Amino acid sequence: MNNLVNWLAKLQEATSTSYLKRSTNFLYAGAFSLMIGLYACQDHRLPQPGQSIQSTSPKPDWGPTIGPQMLAVIEELGRLSPIPLNTLTPQQARQQPSFKDAVNSLLDKNKIPRPTANVTSSQQTIPGYNNVPIRIVVYTPKNKTGPLPVIVYYHGGGWVIASPEVYEYSTLALAEETGAIVVSVDYRLAPENKFPTAHEDAYAAYKWVTQNAASINGNPAKIALAGESAGGNMAITTAMLARDRGIALPVHILSVFPVADNNLDTPSYNIYKDAKPLNRPLVEYFTANYFNSPADGNSPLISLVDVADLTKLPPTTIIGAEIDPLQSEGMYLRDKLANSGVTVTYQLYPGATHEFFGMYAIVPQAQQAHTLAATQLINAFQ
């Protein structure tokens, strides 16, 4: 409890008059969400064996409330990949071990099996932006009769790094837990492909699924969008583009710790500017590589909070991490969606960092978040 009080005090100190109204809402909503997460967000499934893996190190200054399992993964990631990604070229950064590698390493060291799912996977190529071919990975639950619901999923990585394989634990779990087919989109990365290529690839993949769902045993009337971080942003923007371009809207959006603004002077950016694995220098690195110029940050595809029209979007679930520079903008996005007439469910997970969603084999907050996500999606598919 003392950690929570200290955290709120630090957050209040970071608040400036330039965003006083938003920050006041953030303080109240943040405290409420933290208490909900601490006392009400319970997962009634048995804990994963990997949750026994806990760090005994002192908690870092950048994350005084970090959970012991979460810290164990972050420490292992630091051991595997000690060089800050923002000091590398994008091509070098893509070769560095990821959070998935850190999870696997800890499980292997402790002789705990890696996550598996009763799911098959296949790959194919579809037309992306300007008809350039892009890859999709299709995860299909076994022993299910179709046509099945479909989740079109976008991985994270700041539009610069990562792949469907890096985020595979998320997609495997979503497929198994919801009984839906998950189509993970290998959109093109920057700086080789500048803004808005990734966003348009994301939309092209969604459009392809709406027109070709039957070819993968999917139900075109039951399609949802999902994504993490940069992918959480594109889950929202793809629905916006579908609305504006006159194609069918998804039945639900799952947006996990999304990029929702280009403002790097929010309460959570100031509190967690040095956090791991995501911090302010890394965000600046990502945007510098993806944007053609700083003006791209003012596009409605980037600035969901300040610029985008969010009206007439489907019900949306937002999952946030406490120890994350993006925490504030996730809350602002929640508020703007609600004020735009969109049904929103929001949950903040205390003690968790950015990227925690795919760490459910070790991190209990991730297991809880997957339970919420699956419940919301299953209800949307009814």
CA dist., res. 162 & res. 226, Å (int): 16
Q: Which residues pair with 137 in a beta bridge?
A: 123, 184
Location of structure tokens 């959070």 = 99
Dihedral angle sign, alpha carbons of residues 136, 140, 146, 150: negative
Q: Is residue 8 packed enough to be buried (19+ CB in 10 Å), middle (13-18) or exposed (0-12)?
A: middle
Concatenated DSSP letters of 143-172: T--SSEEEEEEE--STTTS--TTTTHHHHH
The tokens describing 283, both together, are 């965000």
What is the Cα–Cα distance from 287 to 261, expressed in whole angstroms?
A: 11
Q: Are strands 181-186 and 133-141 parallel, antiparallel or unpaired?
A: antiparallel
Residue type, 282: L
DSSP 60: P
Distances (CA, A) of 77 to 84, 323, 349: 11, 16, 20
* Cβ contact 322:330 at 8 Å: no
| Phi, psi of 241, rounded to the nearest 5 degrees | -65, -40
At residue 319, the 3 state secondary structure works out as: strand
Both tokens of 354, joined, read: 């950015």
What are 181's strand-pairing partners?
150
| Token pair in block for residue 52 | 């026994």
**Integer-rounded Cα radius of gyration of the chain:** 19
Catalytic residues, which ones? 229, 324, 354
User: d(Cα 126, Cα 50) in Å, to the nearest integer?
Assistant: 37
Identity at 162, one-letter amino acid code: A
Which tokens is 269 given?
A: 């950016």
Strands across the sheet containing 218-228 = 119-127, 133-141, 181-186, 148-154, 218-228, 253-256, 316-323, 344-353
